[in-house]
Amino acid sequence: MAGRGKPRRAKSPDTKSANSKTSPEEAPLQNGITKERKPKAQKKTRDAEERTIEISEQQSVTTDNTKVPVRCTKAKKKTEQAAEITKVQPETPKDPLKIKVEGRVGKARSPGHIAETTAKVQPETPKACVPPVRCGGREHSILHTTLENLKIKRGERSDAAKLVNEIVKATVEHLKGKSQSFKEIEAPLHTGSYYENLKISNPDEFDVMLPVPVDRVNVTPFGDDGAFYSVGLKRGKSPLQKFQNDDGTLSASEMLQEFRDEVKKSVKQFTEWEVTKKKKGCPAVTLITKHQPIPISLDIVLSIVVKSSWPPFTKEGIQIGGWLGTKVMQQYKRQPYYLVPKYEGVGTVEHDGVLAKDVWRVSFSHVEKAMLMNHGSEKTCCEREGERCCRKDCLKLLKHLLSLLKEKDSSLTKFCSYHVKTTLLHACCSRTKDTDWKASDLSRCFRLLLEDFMGHLERGVLHNFFIPTQNLLSGPGLKKCKSLAQRIGEERDNGFPIFK
C-alpha cells in the first residue's frame, strides 16, 4: 500500500505545520524547522519595528489619559497582559524604540502594545516646579529689564556734564591764577563711576581730583595696613612748605582747609551751586546744585601726585598678569600714584609723632579707571568689531542691589560701591577670559559675582586690590557683614524681588 514504507511520527505539541505562519518569536531556519525562542531574548521583528515607528510619529504630547491609536486588531484583547509588565524606570526615554521592557517570558508584544507601553512610561509634566531653564530665562529677563531702567538718558547726561565741566574749569583757573599754594595744580583727573561708564539711574554724582605735584618727598607708612602715609618734603623750594609741621611732614588737615577756602571763592559766581559742610575724614570739597531737575553732587578732591615707585605694600597687589597681561601690569606700576588727605578713626590719634588727621591715603583711582575702560583679555572686548561681555553689567546690578538694601536698612551705611568694585576686580583675576563673562550668560555671571561678594562678607575680609594688607571690611565688622550676606542670599534665592 502506498505510504506504508515508513510509519508516521506523532507531532510534537510545539511543532506546527509547514503551512502555518511563523510567529514573531520564531526565526525560520534553512531546513524549514523553526527554532524555539529563548526566554530572555525578546526581539522585535522588522515589521513590528516599522509599525512602532509609524505609531510613535503620530504621537504628539502623550499623558496617562491619552489613548494611543493601535493598528493591531489584537491589541485590545491584551490589555490585561500589559498590566503584568514590570514597571519601567521613571526616566524619560529619548527614543521610544530604545525602551527596555522586562517582563515574564511569553509571546512578543504587538506593535500596538509597544506603543501603549511607551505612552505609559512618559512622565507627567510637573506643575508645581518650573524647569531650571525657564527659571534662568525669567531671571535673565528681570536682570536685563533692571539694566534698561538703570540707563541714564543721553540728554540728562549731557546737561549734567556741561554744568560740572563749567564749574571745574572755573575752579582750576582760580587756583592757578589767584592762589599761591595751589598755582602749580595740574589738569583735573576725572575719576569715579560716571567717568568709568558705571553710573546708574541718574547723572547725579561726579568725582574730580585736582593734583598738586611734589618732586621730592619722603613717604612713610602710618599704621600697619599700608594704606595711609605721612608725607615729608625734602630740601628745595615748594609752595607747600607753609603746610609743614615741625617734624617736616605735610599737614593734610591744614592743606585741605586752605584748599576748601579757595574752592569756596571760586564758586561764588555760580549761584546755582553751594558748598556743603565739611565731613569728618573726607578729602573732598563737595558742591551741590540748588535749582536743577536732578540734584547734582560734585566732589572736588585735593591730591598730591607722587612721581616715583609705588609703596612696598603694593608689591603683591594688582595681580592682573593672567587677566590683562604682565606688560600691562608693569605699565600701570610705572605710573605715578596719588595721595589724598583722608584718615580713619579719631584725628587726634598719634603714631610716631604724626597725628591721624595729618596723614594721607594712597589712591589708585586712575588705574582703576584704566582697567575698567579696557577690561577685556582680548583687545576687542566690547568694541564694535568684538564680542560683548557682561563685566560692567554685573557690577551695575550689584551696586544697585546694595543701594536698595541700604535704603531698607540704615545699619548698612558703612558698605559702599567701592566694596563692589573691588570684588569685581578680584573676580576678573580669577575668571580671566572674556568667554567667562559672555553677555548671553548675564544671569550665571551675576550669580557668580554675588557668590564672590557673599564669600568676602561671610569671612569679613576683602583685600584692597592694590594693597593686599588692607582689609576693606574691617570698618563694618563681621556681624554686619554676615547680615548683609544673608540679605543678598535671600534676594538671590527668591529671584531678586527687590528689582521688580
End-to-end C-alpha distance for the chain, whole angstroms = 103
Q: Which CATH code for domain 375-500?
A: 1.10.1410.40
As beta bridge partners, residue 303 has: 211
Max CA distance (Å), the chain: 148
Collapsing DSSP to helix, strand or coil, 212 comes out as strand
Does CATH place domain 154-316+326-364 in 3.40.50.980?
no
Within the chain, which residue ranges are assigned CATH 1.10.1410.40?
375-500
Within the chain, which residue ranges are assigned CATH 3.30.460.90?
154-316+326-364
Q: Would you give per-residue pLDDT tens digits along the chain (500 residues)?
A: 444 444 444 444 444 444 444 444 434 334 444 444 444 444 444 444 444 444 444 444 334 443 334 444 444 444 444 444 444 444 444 443 333 334 334 444 443 443 344 333 343 433 333 333 334 578 888 999 999 988 888 788 888 888 899 999 999 999 999 998 999 999 999 887 777 777 777 778 889 999 999 888 889 999 888 999 999 988 768 888 899 988 889 999 999 999 999 999 999 989 889 999 988 888 999 999 876 777 889 999 999 999 989 999 999 999 999 999 999 999 999 999 999 999 888 888 888 788 889 999 999 999 999 999 899 998 889 988 889 999 999 999 999 999 999 999 989 999 999 999 999 999 999 999 999 999 999 999 999 999 999 999 999 999 999 999 999 999 899 999 999 999 999 999 999 999 98
Q: Compute how many other C-beta atoms are within 10 angstroms of the C-beta atom of residue 154.
A: 8
Helix, strand, coil abundance in the chain, percent, nearest 5: 40, 15, 45
Q: Compute how many other C-beta atoms are within 10 angstroms of the C-beta atom of residue 482.
A: 15
What is the distance between the alpha carbons of residues 94 and 102, in angstroms, rounded to a whole number? 18
What is the distance between the alpha carbons of residues 303 and 410, in angstroms, rounded to a whole number? 31
